[in-house]
Amino acid sequence: MMKASVVFQVICETDSPGLLNEGVFRLLLATQGLDPCSLVKAEEKGREAFSVYCPDRKTGQDLEREFRHFLPRGVRVRGRSVRPREWETKWKEGWRPLRVGKRIVVIPLWQKDRRCPSGRVPIYLDTVNAFGTGQHETTRFTIELMEGLSGEAASFLDIGTGSGILMIAASRLGIRKVRGFDVDRSAVSVAKENLRTNGLAVNGVRVADIGRYSSGEPFDLVAANLVTPDLLEHREKILGCVKPGGSLIVSGISRQKAGYFLRMFSGRDLVRQKVLRGKEWIAVLWRRKA
């Protein structure tokens, strides 16, 4: 198959902070059959913007019309054609080393020679988009909750590993047995490259579907950064991966669905330990009853 010479970028921007809702963007992308993880967010000098890179002009123009119809007044929407090289690298321009939690700093692979901040443990990443770099609330919250459990877990499972950032963070936080899986083969390939870059073994990550996954022995700590429907549908499967007395971190829940999710996911087998709430997302730490 020939590689496309042009792709289409849709840009939505506003000078009114808070007017752009990331959850709405991801929903619109999903309804158009586009990967919600292709969304790139930028904030600078009071301006907020979201960009989406579409595989062809028609898809991009259709999405542009959807945005114009559904987004509130005060949001400027425009589209433009770009070359694939720009599509693959444009979002990287604004990405700088990012401090996550109290101990981790995420450093872009192309800036690996930069000095690591004192007292921080580096994670080097090279991904195909901004999701899974630590910039997203769901990823940051999960790492912060993992830090709070430092020293309590000897094994970790990452359900929906994406870029592999949580597997690397677990290793950096001293967890010896680290495993992960994702249904997306391309995500697993990226995760393996990131694991190698950080000097870690790659045999602990594989392609698998949560509905068919078998972990063998359960884990001390499990992280599931998934969308709400998947978390609810596969609750028992996810919980079965956690040792009795172990910890479960769930993320990927929008604030709009937080109340509903907490009611539906709670049960006598779980004790809620902590909830982190951001502008648009929440993450929850549970303890599985022994």
The model's pTM: 0.72
Return the exposure string of 80-109: e unless at least 16 CB atoms fall within 10 Å of the residue's CB, then b: eebeeeebeeebbeebebbebbebbbbbbe
Q: How far apart are CA 226 and CA 253, in angstroms?
A: 8
Domain extent listing, the chain: 7-93, 134-288
Could you count the other beta carbons within 10 Å of the beta carbon of residue 267? 12
Best mean pLDDT range from 21-25, 43-47, 128-132, 215-219? 215-219
- Looking at the DSSP bridge assignments, the partners of residue 247 are 221, 287
Tens-place pLDDT, residues 230-261: 999 999 999 999 999 999 999 989 888 899 99
pLDDT at 1: 31
pLDDT at 220 over 90: yes
pLDDT at 2: 32
Distance CA 75, CA 253 (A): 25
Report whether pLDDT(4) > 50: no
Is pLDDT above 50 for 5? Answer: no
Q: What whole-number distance in Å separates Cα of residue 207 and Cα of residue 213?
A: 10
Is residue 87 within 8 A of residue 51, CB to CB? The reply is no
d(Cα 223, Cα 123) in Å, to the nearest integer? 18
Task: Please report, as a single letter, which amino acid is at residue 239.
Answer: L
* pLDDT in the model for residue 89: 58
Nearest of 82, 101, 113 to residue 8 by alpha carbon: 82
C-beta separation of 4 from 55 below 8 A? yes
Alpha helices in 163-215 (DSSP H): 165-172, 185-197
Q: Does residue 98 or residue 158 have the better pLDDT?
A: 158
Q: Does domain 134-288 have CATH number 3.30.830.10?
A: no
d(CA 93, CA 274): 35
Q: How high is the pLDDT of residue 130?
A: 43
- Choice between 28 and 141, residue whose per-residue pLDDT is larger: 141
Question: 16-50 pLDDT, tens per residue?
Answer: 877 777 777 777 777 777 766 567 766 656 677 88
Model confidence pLDDT, tens digit, residues 65-121? 888 888 888 889 998 887 665 555 555 555 567 788 888 888 877 777 667 778 888
What kind of architecture, by CATH, is found in domain 7-93?
Answer: 2-Layer Sandwich (3.30)
Instruction: Read off the pLDDT of each residue in 147-173 and give the average, rounded to a whole number.
Output: 93
- Alpha carbons within 13 angstroms on the beta-carbon side of residue 55 total 7
* Residue 88 CA from chain centroid, whole number: 18
For the chain, the residue count is: 290
